[in-house]
Every structure is written in C-alpha cells, then in structure tokens.
Amino acid sequence: MQTYLSFPSYDLGKSADNTAGMLERFDSDVLPFQPEFLIILGGGPSLIEGVPAAQVINEGWRQSAINVCSMGVRPVFLTIPTYKSANIKRTTIEIQ
C-alpha cells in the first residue's frame, strides 16, 4: 500500500507488462480490492513491441474502460509518456 496519498492506494502495475497482460490480470489483481477509482497507465511496452497506437487504444485502453466501468469502478487514464523507441529498446535490452 502506498502512503503518500491521503487515501489508501495500491500499485498493481507490472513493469514491462503490455496491454494484453494488463487486461489478463484485471480480474485477479484489481477486483479483489473493490476500488472506487482505478488509475490506468498502460501501453508503453506494447508500443515498444511495435503494436500500433490505434490498437493499444482500441484494444487495451478501451477494453480496460469497459472492464472497469462494468464493475462500477471509475477509470482515470494517464497518458503514455513520450519516448524515442531506439533509446527505449537499447535500454530495455541492456537491463534484461
């Protein structure tokens, strides 16, 4: 649990997880907490993998919104930070 906010919050993100993985984990990782709000930042790794931005938005973010709203949770979407794919790929390869 994070303590820097004035309310309980949990960081359920998995580094380097793509939008497909994010969607697969929704029921098991998010629903047990029964959140009122869910902050969603996803898509960066999918873009690095070469998934087109339109697909990330349509399949990843849109499906996240459908999942969240169907459970009565209010989604808060954060934008994906800009990046230079060559730099990210180089860094990712070096870390792995």
Kindly state the DSSP code that residue 73 receives in the 8-state scheme. P
Q: Render each residue's pLDDT in the chain as its tens digit; 96 residues.
A: 556 678 778 888 888 888 888 888 888 998 899 888 888 888 888 888 888 888 888 877 888 888 888 888 898 888 776 666 666 566 555 444
> b/e for 16-40, b at 16 or more Cβ within 10 A?
ebbbbebbeebeeebeeeebeebeb
Provide the pLDDT for residue 84.
62
Q: What is the pLDDT of residue 40?
A: 85
Against a cut of 0.85, is the pTM above it? no
User: What is the C-alpha to C-alpha distance for residues 42 and 60, in angstroms, rounded to an integer?
Assistant: 8
Model pLDDT, residue 92: 52
> For residue 91, which amino acid is it?
T
Q: What are the percentages of helix, strand and coil residues in the chain, rounded to 5?
A: 50, 10, 40
pLDDT of 95: 46
pLDDT at 14: 85
